[in-house]
Amino acid sequence: MIILGSFFSQLAVGTVLTDLAFFLTTVRHINAVFAGLLFTVEGISSVVFSIPLGIISDAYGRKKFLLLGNGAIGVATIMLAITSSQPLLLLGGFLAGISEASFTASGGALLADTAGEQKRTPTFALSSLAGNLAFASGGFLLYVLAPLVAFGFTPVQAHVILYVTLSALTFASTVFFVRVEEVRIPRQRVTGARRLILSSGTRSILTKYVVANVFVAFGAGLVVPLMSQWFEYRYGIPDSVSGPILGISNLMLAVSTLAAPAVARRLGLVRTIVYTQAASTVFMVLTPIPNQYQVAGGVYIVRAFLMNVSSPLSQSLIMGLVPHDERGAASGISSAFWRTPNAISTYPGSALMKEGYLSAPFFIASGLYLISISLFYVWFRGSKLPEEVKGRSNI
């Protein structure tokens, strides 16, 4: 039920993020600088609210915050569609950020609670698969705009119809979340301000986890969001040519999650994360070297496949290592400390590419990946999740 409900909200998010900049600037003729400001507001809102919503959801229940996030993205999608008022558009971006924060803080924690120890890793893999497919499918939904215009609607009306339909599907998906029965395990720290304070063990685990991930987040921001721009600079090809390459890459992100649980069962969670990220780093280094864009695209697709194998495993790891009643806070904190450096590094990555240093972002990102992998291995190589300890019964 959690995965199904999240699928429709991710479908809306995937469509809006793919199309919103074009819709605002080309269809509604709103200043491009304002469009950039809107995305900045959404990002800041997500980062600011991720941690407090995670902590509060631990104390007062995660299901209600999942419902809050679902409702917020539905309202935000409508607002972004029907108005050209800049204050209202900014409010829509603000609500979209709150929605992302609510889903990040509550969704992973509630998913881990309902899956149990033995099924947590495959459950996160399935959730990642569904989320990636929904996000990618959102872009393909834009193909319905041309038939709507051909039928007689204006471009603005066609976009509004699409956005409002996605909003309606998001609101309808609330029925899936309502059917989820949240298992509330009594907390030992339940009185006063102490319920909002993480235990020393969780703080130690999160500090190590966050520090290791910051390097990956910053490195990824140098390259991943800028690949269509890089293909144009490096090979002189338009986005109509690089788009399918990146589309295949996104599809591989979804497919790679299917391999994650089987590999983790064989090698162990921590070693699988380390091995796949290390292999992905090799292909990151190789991506800018070929003289043909087809070869570079193939190398990049392999990189994406290997890197994403570790994504659901990392989520499962942190949910398994922290206590049940602190999972929401852990999700919120790890998300905030991923999103911030990932967003910050996009600007220097773009600046390097514009100045002609087309290989530098890949090499710098690879160096940061190696630092992250090394720290992660040193800090977590001895970690064993409950399901990896022989003799531990299923919960």
Q: Which fold has domain 199-384?
A: Growth Hormone; Chain: A; (1.20.1250)
pLDDT at 308: 78
* Residue 347: exposure state from Cβ atoms within 10 A (0-12, 13-18, ≥19): exposed
Q: Give the contacts of 219 (CB within 8 A, at least 6 positions apart).
A: 345, 364, 365, 366, 367, 368, 369, 372
**Domain ranges, ordered by start, for the chain:** 1-180, 199-384
Question: Is there a shared CATH topology between the 1-180 domain and the 199-384 domain?
Answer: yes
Contact 105, 65 (CB under 8 A): yes
Query: Among 146, 141, 147, which residue's Cα sits nearest to residue 162?
Result: 141
**The token pair that represents 342 in the structure block:** 């990932």
Q: Which residue has 């970690």 as its token pair?
A: 383
C-alpha neighbours within 13 Å on the C-beta side of residue 110 = 27
| 214 alpha-carbon distance from chain centroid | 15
Instruction: Identify the CATH assignment for 1-180 out of 2.60.40.10, 1.10.10.10, 2.60.40.150, 1.20.1250.20.
Output: 1.20.1250.20
Q: Give the contacts of 93 (CB within 8 A, at least 6 positions apart).
A: 38, 39, 41, 42, 45, 76, 80
Taken as a whole, the chain contains a residue count of 395
Contact 117, 105 (CB under 8 A): no
Q: Please state whether 391 falls in left (phi above 0), alpha (psi between -120 and 50) or beta.
A: left
C-alpha–C-alpha distance, residues 23 and 73, integer Å: 18
C-alpha–C-alpha distance, residues 283 and 289, integer Å: 10
Alpha helices in 224-292 (DSSP H): 227-235, 239-267, 269-286
Q: Tell me the whole-structure pTM to 2 decimals.
A: 0.73
**The token pair that represents 5 in the structure block:** 């409900």
* Residue 156: exposure state from Cβ atoms within 10 A (0-12, 13-18, ≥19): middle
Please, what is the angle between helix 227-235 and helix 239-267, to 10°? 120
C-alpha–C-alpha distance, residues 269 and 271, integer Å: 6
pLDDT digits (tens), the chain, 395 positions: 888 888 888 888 877 776 776 778 778 888 766 766 777 788 788 878 877 887 777 777 778 888 888 898 999 999 988 988 889 998 988 998 888 888 877 777 788 778 777 777 788 778 877 877 787 677 677 778 888 888 989 988 988 999 999 999 999 988 888 888 776 555 544 444 444 566 777 788 888 888 988 999 889 888 887 787 788 888 887 655 666 677 677 677 667 777 777 777 787 888 888 998 999 999 999 999 999 988 998 898 888 888 877 877 887 788 778 877 777 777 778 877 887 887 788 778 888 888 888 999 999 999 999 999 999 999 988 776 655 554 444 43
> With DSSP H G I counted as helix, E B as strand and the rest as coil, what are the percentages for the chain, rounded to 5?
85, 0, 15
